[in-house]
Amino acid sequence: DTAVSQTPKYLVTQMGNDKSIKCEQNLGHDTMYWYKQDSKKFLKIMFSYNNKELIINETVPNRFSPKSPDKAHLNLHINSLELGDSAVYFCASSQDRQAYGYTFGSGTRLTVV
Amino acid sequence: KNEVEQSPQNLTAQEGEFITINCSYSVGISALHWLQQHPGGGIVSLFMLSSGKKKHGRLIATINIQEKHSSLHITASHPRDSAVYICAVTASGSRLTFGEGTQLTVNP
């Protein structure tokens, strides 16, 4: 069983569309994250939830909205997609806020055309 | 200037060589992580360190808190070790702040 699973793996969409990326972890971890990897392969935090509570919200356009229905799921919804949103988005989880057991999903490559 | 700096950016080695990748950071940290990103894109956590040294197979990670420096060593390198190695730190809370990565290529 995959520990942190993201869907879809690839997403190609037109500018202006709204899309969602789903993430689920079966590790029993309390904390989940969304990271963005840009074209230069640099990773940066976007959001973090701990037990369904938003604890990190970096300077991200408000077109990006995370949703955590329960501690095993953290979805990312993006409105009005722009060309600059093209990137690889990684979901991750850790045991707790102390960052033990960091585990990454396999990434979602988003291409906006 | 990035809070986490890695060197070298690119490294090419011959199979069997001993490899060292360095990481320096400028903030107080609670832990330092070494990650491996495969050519296919997946990211795997190799080590989480807050002091001393850890070893797993042919991989060794060390950290010097006073000098704000960590190294990742690979002994008897193999082509399957070819990947991007990323240093990341947790300062406050559990968010990771990343270095820019070191692209390692090991030739047979």
Task: Answer whether residue A40 shows pLDDT above 90.
Answer: no
Give the residue from B102, B96, B106 showing the smallest Cα distance to B45.
B96
Instruction: Kindly give, in sequence order, each residue whose CB lies less than 8 Å from that of residue A82, ignoring residues fewer than 6 positions away.
Output: A15, A63, A112
- CB atoms A104 and B42 under 8 Å: yes
Q: Is A44 on the interface with B (CB under 8 A)?
A: yes
Q: What are the tokens at A88?
A: 């690889």
List residues in chain B touching A: CB distance below 8 A.
Answer: 30-31, 33, 35, 37, 41-45, 48, 84, 86, 88, 90, 93-98, 100-101
- CB atoms A40 and B100 under 8 Å: yes
Report how far residue B79's alpha carbon sits from residue B72's, in angstroms, rounded to the nearest whole number.
17
Task: Answer whether residue B90 shows pLDDT above 70.
Answer: yes
- CB atoms B41 and A97 under 8 Å: no
Q: How far is B29 from chain A (nearest CA, A)?
A: 11
Q: Dihedral (C-alpha) B63, A48, A92, B26: value to the nearest 10 degrees? A: -20
B37 close to B54: Cβ distance less than 8 angstroms: no
A94 close to A103: Cβ distance less than 8 angstroms: yes
CB pairs under 8 A between A and B: 63
How much is the pLDDT for A1?
Answer: 66
How much is the pLDDT for A108?
Answer: 96
Task: Answer whether residue B92 shows pLDDT above 80.
Answer: no
Q: Is A45 on the interface with B (CB under 8 A)?
A: yes
For a pLDDT cut of 90, what percent of chain B falls above it?
Answer: 82
Task: Answer whether residue B93 shows pLDDT above 90.
Answer: no
- Using a 10 angstrom Cβ sphere, with 0-12 exposed, 13-18 middle and 19 or more buried, the burial of residue B51 is exposed
How much is the pLDDT for A41?
Answer: 85
DSSP-derived pairing of the beta strands A108-112 and A10-13: parallel
What are the pLDDT digits (tens) for A48-91? 998 888 888 887 899 999 999 999 999 999 999 999 999 999 99
Which of A21-25, B23-27, B90-94 is least confident? Answer: B90-94
